[in-house]
Structure 1
Amino acid sequence: MSTMILELQHVFKNYSLEGRDIPVLKDINFQIAEGATVAIVGPSGSGKSTLLGLCAGLDQASTGSIKLNGIELSGLSEDKLAQIRNQHVGFVFQNFQLLPTLTALENVMVPMELRGIRNHQPVAMVLLERVGLADRANHYPSQLSGGEQQRVSLARAFANKPKILFADEPTGNLDAETSLIIEEMLFELNRASGTTLVIVTHDLELAAKTQQIIPIKGGQIQ
């Protein structure tokens, strides 16, 4: 029997605009098993990124239940949500989100420092080696190509050994050749660490490489 790492029941998300409620997500229900690879797919404006934000505890649902690793997220304080993200969640973003004043190695070390993990430099170095960037450890993001920056962000995402990794359009800013390299590294790191992987993408070829596809359109699962 698989353990469920993520469970959504009757999730709705509305935003207020000039006193009116605008529905963005409507009655979302799904489960994701521990260790699974999943793609949330849909056109621009379908609610994919909003859904990812709710699942990762970056935002709160208007109504409904979201359980992450058995923890009910609704009603939790910002501090508690941040603590849960730090303990359980990794992120890869389309625009890399590296800290420009830190080297590649220092960027990978940040999540471990936030958790108070000691002797983290060797661990960060091993992760950089696994993404083929050991020789670029002391370079700053501005000295790295887009593909290299995304490889650093992959290494950083796995630094805390997250239970679940959310990747939001991870190849959206990369050319086709670089995208394939990043995808291979993402799935390989994921396999090695046994992490659950949730990719938000409009790229159906990338989605086809996952075990489960959740199609969303107009804020509803199709």
Structure 2
Amino acid sequence: MASTILNLTNVCKSYGAGNRTVDVLRDISFDIAAGTSASIVGPSGSGKTTLLGLCAGLDQSTAGEIWLNGIKLNGLSEDKLAAVRNEHIGFVFQNFQLLPTLTALENVLVPLELKGMRNRKATALDLLAKVGLKDRASHYPSQLSGGEQQRVSLARAFANQPKILFADEPTGNLDAETGMLVENLLFDLNNSQGTTLVLVTHDLDLAAKTDRILPIKGGRLA
């Protein structure tokens, strides 16, 4: 039986808004087994991206517990959360989040350098080859199409060999044909590296490709 890599117990997230409190997430509990895939779906404003951010240690919950690969995220300092993200987590964002002053190769090298991995350049070039962009390694983001930028971000996300990959609307800014290419690359890389995948999407066809769907409505797990 696969071990649990992500566990949430009674997780809540609230924000202060003037003299009132806004509850964004309420009493969320679920487990995700290592090596599986899951999608978080729901209408705009339902708390999907907030939930993904909590799971990835980008923000802290107001209540409840979050465990990622045996590490309790609640109460960790920003430095320790950054170390957890660098060691265990990969990210793919809707708007690519590439560093504009770095080439495609240099963007992929960033997590490898942070982790101090050997043979960094060869590893980065191999990942670019896997997403079909080895010949674009010296190009800057402004010289790449949206689909090419997202493929670079996929290569970067898998560079540090993450235990779990979080993807927030990974095809949201792409046309249907390019989105399908990126989807296929995402699942192929995920399967070949044995990574756990958790994604947020409005695309129910994409969600249906994951092992499990977690519907969020009004801040609660439906």
Per the shorter chain, which TM-score range?
over 0.9
Structure 1 residue 118 displacement after superposition: 2.7
Residue 186 of structure 2 aligns with which residue?
186
CA deviation digits over 1:163-192, x for unaligned, max 9?
Answer: 000000000000000000000000000000
Structure 1 residue 110 displacement after superposition: 0.3
Report whether the alignment pairs 1:156 with 2:156: yes
Residues of 2 paired with 1:94 and 1:70: CA distance?
A: 28
Q: How does 1:113-124 map to 2 (within 5 A)?
A: 113-124=113-124
Residue 173 of structure 2 aligns with which residue?
173
Q: How does 1:105-144 map to 2 (within 5 A)?
A: 105-144=105-144
In the superposition, the TM-score normalised over structure 2's length comes to 0.99
Residues of 1 paired with 2:119 and 2:28: CA distance?
A: 42
SS in 2 for 1:158: helix
Report whether the alignment pairs 1:35 with 2:6: no
Residues of 1 paired with 2:61 and 2:34: CA distance?
A: 22
SS in 1 for 2:123: helix
CA deviation digits over 1:49-95, x for unaligned, max 9?
Answer: 00000000000000000000011111110100000000000000000
Residue 85 of structure 2 aligns with which residue?
85
Structure 1 residue 115 displacement after superposition: 1.1
Percentage identity across paired residues of the two chains: 69
Structure 1 residue 19 displacement after superposition: 2.7
Residue 147 of structure 2 aligns with which residue?
147
In the superposition, the TM-score normalised over structure 1's length comes to 0.99
- Residue 62 of structure 1 aligns with an amino acid whose one-letter code is T
CA deviation digits over 1:15-56, x for unaligned, max 9?
Answer: 011132110000000000000010000111000000000000
Residue 98 of structure 1 aligns with which residue?
98
- Number of matched residues? 222
Deviates more, 1:146-155 or 1:113-122: 113-122
Residues of 2 paired with 1:215 and 1:38: CA distance?
A: 10
Residues of 1 paired with 2:28 and 2:106: CA distance?
A: 38
Structure 1 residue 117 displacement after superposition: 1.5
SS in 2 for 1:132: coil
- Residue 217 of structure 1 aligns with an amino acid whose one-letter code is K
Residues of 2 paired with 1:160 and 1:26: CA distance?
A: 33
Residues of 2 paired with 1:21 and 1:67: CA distance?
A: 26
Residues of 2 paired with 1:106 and 1:72: CA distance?
A: 32
Write out the 4+ residue segments of structure 1 that deviate beyond 6 Å after TM superposition. Answer: none
Residue 7 of structure 2 aligns with which residue?
7
Residue 24 of structure 2 aligns with which residue?
24
